[in-house]
Amino acid sequence: MTGAELKSPEDLLKERFGRVEKAIELGEPDRVPLIIFTCGDILRKYAKGYELYFNYDRAREVSVRFATEYPVDVFLAALAAEGFIFALAFSDYPDIAPSVRFWTGPMHDALGDKYTRWPGRELPEDSIFQFIGGQFMEAKEYCKLSDDPITFLNEVILPRSCLNLEKPNSEKANVALIRLGVEVSRYLKFLGDSAADLAKVGVPSLPLTFAYAPLDFIGDFLRYPTGALLDVRRHPDDVKRACEALVEPILKVALSLKPAGAKYAFIPLHLNEYLSPKLYNEFYWPTLKKIIVALYEQGIKSLVFFEGWHDPHLETILELPRGWGIAYFEKTDVRKAKKILGGHTCIMGGVPPSLLLEATPDKIKGYIKDILSEVKPGGGFILSPGVADIPMPVPPENLRALIDAVEEYGRY
């Protein structure tokens, strides 16, 4: 970015992070911030999928390489799979719970979990990992989940969903947990080192913690997404009770990173797009709202990733306290979101991955110019590719065009 090379990394960090914070506080920074997330796709420019998820040194190297070549206001590489079920199962232990929130390749080796598949293991070496989920709970077990979620997860679900934990107290299971522990400490070191690498080149990370919408937890880890949807019709009261029962442990997980300085809780939403407003307001939103509000009251703002098309539920966001956090949109048009939520909610998103993939740099710049002219005024807006990743074949000049365009048209 222009003039960036003249500033020290410390100054750049302050400037970039300040920009993002200002937008989150619903203000107008010096220009619209640009945030890039990846689960690894774009980093396959530099390394095979296998290396990204199994070799922490390589992962560090390529993350900082990307951030150096394409400096943005926050860069976040989540090179690990969804492992929220572990965080939840251990939520009474704040020193452990957040560390097992994500699973890397070696953690998969340790656990033999059936939720994920990995390059160099179940998959070819050059692919990205796959979270495939599964059905590990019967519909008739909802009451056990609701009565005592932690015991049920530890004693029933983990043995079912992780090959190496099949027989609790067996040698195999105990060794698996020790292996997991060893791996977790390597992973935590990697996270710390990686953030430090990025800081050295002046690119901030976000101090994140994590939460989950209760119904999504049921869909992703216990009943499969379609199973959860069918349960909403076939066993509505059981589903509601279970969602309520999950609120407290989810909050415990999210708050466990507060002492370490976490400021934002990332919450990716999955079943939101599927539900009619009636079902959303009955089964999904009440418990999610409780979580967002409780975190806000504890000084943690949520970064909610409204995956898919969230249009039918946009107005419900206004039920949250003003300045509650960041609404990251995917298919919902950020212009429409800004009209409805502007001044109340910080909005993030705006760049479809297909545009970066196929359009020319000029088209991309034109697109960003147009969109910013509508959503920039009044502040409270963060530009970001819509799906929390960028396709690997995106030409470098297109990525450059994205960065240049915010610089050119994002100034206040």
Partner 1 sequence: MSLADLIDAFVNLDENRVLGIVEKLLREGTDPSEILEACRKATTIIGERFERGEYFLSELVFASEIFNSVMRVVLPELKRETKPLGTIVLGTVQGDIHDIGKNIFKAFAEAAGFKVIDLGVDVPPERFVDAVRTHNPDIVGMSGLLTISYESMKKTVNALKEAGLRDRVRVIVGGGRMDEHVKRYVGADEWADNAMLGIRKCKEMLGLGG
Using CB under 6 A, list all residues that contact ligand B12: 39, 81-82, 130-133, 220, 225, 270, 273, 307-308, 330, 387-389
Question: Three-state SS for 266?
Answer: strand
- Would you give the DSSP letter of residue 125? T
Shortest reach from residue 228's CB to partner 1, in Å = 10
Q: Of partner 1, ligand B12, none, which one sits near residue 220, judging by CB under 5 to 8 A according to partner kind?
A: ligand B12
| Length of the chain, in residues | 412
Q: Of ligand B12, partner 1, none, which one sits near residue 275, judging by CB under 5 to 8 A according to partner kind?
A: partner 1
Shortest reach from residue 219's CB to ligand B12, in Å = 7
Q: Between vectors from CA 338 to CA 331 and to CA 361, what angle results, nearest 5°?
A: 60
Shortest reach from residue 185's CB to ligand B12, in Å = 23
Shortest reach from residue 298's CB to ligand B12, in Å = 26
Q: Which of 313, 157, 145, 324 is nearest to 244 (CA)?
A: 145
Q: Which of 19, 11, 76 is nearest to 381 (CA)?
A: 19
Residue nearest to ligand B12 (CB): 308
Nearer to partner 1 by Cβ, of 257 and 269: the residue is 269
Nearer to ligand B12 by Cβ, of 19 and 101: the residue is 101
List 209's β-bridge partners, or say none.
Answer: 265
Q: Of partner 1, ligand B12, none, which one sits near residue 270, judging by CB under 5 to 8 A according to partner kind?
A: ligand B12
Q: At residue 406, what is the residue type? A: V
Q: Which pair of tokens denotes residue 32?
A: 């619209």
Q: Of partner 1, ligand B12, none, which one sits near residue 82, judging by CB under 5 to 8 A according to partner kind?
A: ligand B12
Binding site for partner 1 (CB under 8 A): 41, 127-128, 130, 132, 225-226, 229-230, 232-233, 271, 273-276, 279, 308-309, 312, 331, 352-355, 357-359, 387, 389-393
CA-to-CA separations, 199 to 35, 71, 76, 189, 407, in angstroms, rounded: 15, 11, 12, 15, 21
Alpha helices, DSSP H, located in 80-168: 84-89, 105-111, 142-147, 149-152, 158-161
Report residue 312 CA to chain centroid gap: 22
Q: Of partner 1, ligand B12, none, which one sits near residue 192, judging by CB under 5 to 8 A according to partner kind?
A: none
Q: Of ligand B12, partner 1, none, which one sits near residue 254, judging by CB under 5 to 8 A according to partner kind?
A: none
Percent of residues in the chain assigned helix, strand, coil, to nearest 5: 55, 15, 30
Nearer to partner 1 by Cβ, of 288 and 390: the residue is 390
Q: Of partner 1, ligand B12, none, which one sits near residue 392, judging by CB under 5 to 8 A according to partner kind?
A: partner 1
Shortest reach from residue 272's CB to partner 1, in Å = 10
